[in-house]
Amino acid sequence: MEITELTKEDIKTILRTNQYIIKNINFQNNSINGSTIKNKIKYFFKIMSSERCKQEIKGYLSIKEEYPVPKLVEYIEYTDIGILIYEYVDAIKNNQGLLHDFILNCEENYKYNLRVVNNIFQYYEKSLKKICKVNSFPMEEFYKKRINTRLLKWYKDWEINEYKIIINGTIVINLKEIIRTLKNYFEKVKMYDAFLSQGDPNTVNIGIKPIFMDLTTAGYNYIGAEIAAFIWSELIADAYFCPKYHAKSYKDHEKILHIYDNYKPNLKYSINRDKKTIQIDGNLKISKIRKEILNEYLKIFIKNNIVVGDELKYYIVMRILCIFNIREMEEIDTIYSLFCVGMFLKLEGKEKNILSNMELMLKDYSEDVKIENGKSV
């Protein structure tokens, strides 16, 4: 049975057989989750293919001694479907408890508690004490393994590949060249500096308790891959693209669904199909709070002498192009995605360390979002 074939009644029956009673349920693209009760104790459940469940169990076992994670209570297998039963995290409530919720609250108040984010980031700093060399890592699922399944499949025959894209009059990119560069980079066999990490650091997977959730790609991951995922999620994706195009992932944290339009890009653009050019002018739309939090995050790596070169740009661009098919977006969002590609490709490293230049890029090429009572001001 496929995940997509499961109904709410199917899930109720499976869980009831194991003495669990469903309280609520949320159907997402690749998984189903919700809360359940057994012997008057509340639990969180997650349903995926048995293969992905076993992958998550492996990730859980790899980091549970080093990172605060919900305790895995039970694994139930039903044909080729798996159900993971975790302890319920009471600290996470309606529009509360996630790093995502914390950032939204800080944006409304124009300030944030540095201690809260550093309580989260301390686990990265501890993990950086144990760096090892690897030739593959769990997070490759989001990068190398998406070259054929998403990057080429979605964009190989796109007419925009032949266009010259001019950003703010000075940055010129060509998507066809970018795709070729990404393909060549990710196809090469290489060794990576890896550290133990949660592996999918979007702001919905991190609680401010602190606690780290969704461990399918947890383990020893390439440091640059982890940083790229956090940068894209924290700065832009979890504020705008994800709530707009994957609203289901914000179950019980729907506040963003009412305000993500505040992060809508303010761009001027023109498309000349005869000359095959796209001209885009504007800035990244990012709140001051998000930039400050990112700078605190990057300080952890810079302080620990972590050097990430130009390849960081490739990992960020893969996140931009291969989470959602930008061809299927509203036109302004397609243009904004291309704009983001160009802006991040512009990044240059200082003394070969690209992390040190991120703050300057955001300062010079981003527009602060200010929100009050749920509206931009």
How far apart, in whole angstroms, are the C-alpha atoms of residue 375 and residue 377?
A: 6
Write down the pLDDT at residue 133.
97
Give the DSSP H or E segment for 274. none
Q: Which residue, 325, 335, 230, is CA-closest to 282?
A: 335
pTM more than 0.85: yes
Mean pLDDT by runs of 10 across the 377 residues of the chain is 81 92 86 93 95 97 98 94 96 96 90 90 97 97 97 97 96 97 95 97 97 98 97 96 95 94 94 98 91 93 91 96 98 97 80 71 71 60
**334 Cβ contact list (under 8 Å, min separation 6):** 326, 327
> Are the C-beta atoms of residues 134 and 222 closer than 8 Å to each other?
yes
Write down the pLDDT at residue 350.
52
Write down the pLDDT at residue 300.
95
Q: What per-residue string of b and e applies to 105-137 under the rule 16 or more CB within 10 Å gives b? A: ebbbeeebeeebbeebbebbeebbeebeeeeeb
Write down the pLDDT at residue 315.
97
